[in-house]
Amino acid sequence: MPVADPPKTEYLFSIYGTPVRYITASSHLAAPVEELLRHFRRDAIEETTSLDVQFYAAQDRSEIPLALSHSVRHLVSRTDVAAEGGQKDDWPYVVSQDGGRLLIDFADAGVFVIDGASGRAEGYLLKPERMSDNLIEYLFHLTLIELLRHQRLYTIHATALEWQGRGVLIPGNSGRGKTTSFISLLRAGYRYLSDDHPLIRDAGGHIELLSFPIKINVTDETIAFFPELRNAPEQVLQRQPGFHKRGFYAEEVYSAGIGTCCKPALVLFPQVVDAPQSHLERISRSRALELVLPQALLVYDQEVARREFQVLTKLVQQVDCYRLHFGRDILDLPKLVTPLLEQVC
């Protein structure tokens, strides 16, 4: 007698007016996604159309029902893998296009099929019970962002905060002081928008900066700078199995709360310097665009890429852009940044 497939569960979310349905039969694949989108959870959604994502658990690649046409086209591949503290931070992958579908093959992690035009995606994850929650969150987020792009919601690799209705973006790769400068402002009363991937969209007359609140991940080095983190109890500043960072929720440590939507006013590009004091260097908008573009995720659809480029161009045209030379006066950063925001109308 054949074994029945486990029942699927549907999880509902709404991301700035875009309904999202997530369906899976695996508890291993459910909990990390619920955690990632905890602020967007809904009991019901009224819209008849939505973005639909289904994740499946597989034990072997032979279980993945992927049929390719003869027109499949290889787009890009990445084979280097970086590991830190026993946790893979980057995975080798191959991206292909099959008609209107985008195929992302993460080798021993799984295969993802994304149809942006129809708003549907399927992911087949190999042995998810052995995966860390961080990896499952990452794979789902990557899938979701590809779908949201077709809804004209974009993201960049940056931290983001809001102060009295004015948004601050701090783009940059790891090691440049992005998270440390972000926490320095957060503890001074700035409202939390995102630790890693805020959303942006064109509102017509201006660009909107939208929060995407997730757990804030910090290294022991960053924790050492801030007394409220050094003294935080274990249940607040949580160790994450298999991951070299610890995580906390902004609302459990800082009182300013979580913002939702604001107009960006300032973009800071941090760079750690060996100096007693931090200082700001004004940079041109053309230079700012050069620095912002590498912080956007890869785009494979030409029309989507064109629209996203226009949004990022409009963003840097409407804000003041600075290089932040981040010195040893870490706790005093708000004294440098807040006066700039006070000048913004």
Residues 122 and 72 in one domain: yes
Q: Do 52 and 70 belong to one domain? A: yes
Q: What is the CATH number of the domain that holds 221?
A: 3.40.50
Residues 129 and 184 in one domain: no
pLDDT of residue 72: 87
Q: Please tell me whether residues 233 and 263 are part of one structural domain.
A: yes
In this structure, what token pair is assigned to residue 342?
């006070």
How many CB atoms sit inside 10 A of residue 204's CB?
A: 6
- Grouping H, G, I as helix, E, B as strand and the rest as coil, residue 322 is strand
Residues 261 and 220 occupy one common structural domain:
yes
How many distinct structural domains can be found in the chain?
2
In this prediction, the residues of the chain whose per-residue pLDDT falls under 70 are: 1-5, 79-90, 241-242, 345
The predicted pLDDT at position 79 comes to 64
Q: Provide the residue range defining the domain that includes 296.
A: 155-342
274 beta partners: none
Q: What is the pLDDT of residue 84?
A: 37
- Residues 303, 185, single domain; the answer is yes
Last residue of a domain, one of 151, 184, 213: 151
pLDDT in tens, 272-312: 999 999 999 999 999 999 999 999 887 888 899 999 999 99
The reply to whether 38 falls in a domain is yes
Domain boundary among 117, 151, 185: 151
Q: Give me the count of residues in the chain.
A: 345
pLDDT for res 92: 83
Tokens standing for residue 29: 């694949």
| Residues 271 and 317 occupy one common structural domain | yes
Q: Domain boundary at 95, 118, 151, which?
A: 151
Residue 37 forms part of a structural domain: yes
The answer to whether residues 333 and 186 belong to one domain is yes
Q: What pLDDT sits at residue 2?
A: 40
Q: Can you read off the two tokens belonging to residue 236?
A: 């607040």
Q: Give the per-residue pLDDT at 5.
A: 59
Strand partners, 41: 13
Residues 123 and 191 in one domain: no
Query: What is the pLDDT, as a whole number, of residue 86?
Result: 35
pLDDT confidence of residue 123: 96
Residues 221 and 139 in one domain: no
Q: What is the pLDDT of residue 81?
A: 45
Query: By C-alpha distance, which of 286, 341, 343 is closest to 168?
Result: 341
Q: Which helix (H) or strand (E) holds 146?
A: helix 133-149
In the numeric block, which tokens belong to residue 308?
């996203």
* Confidence at residue 82, expressed as pLDDT on a 0 to 100 scale: 39
Are residues 228 and 277 part of one domain?
A: yes
Are 118 and 194 contained in the same domain? no
Tell me the C-alpha distance between 342 and 345, whole Å: 8
Does the residue 87 lie in any domain? yes
Q: Tokens 């939702």: give the residue.
A: 260
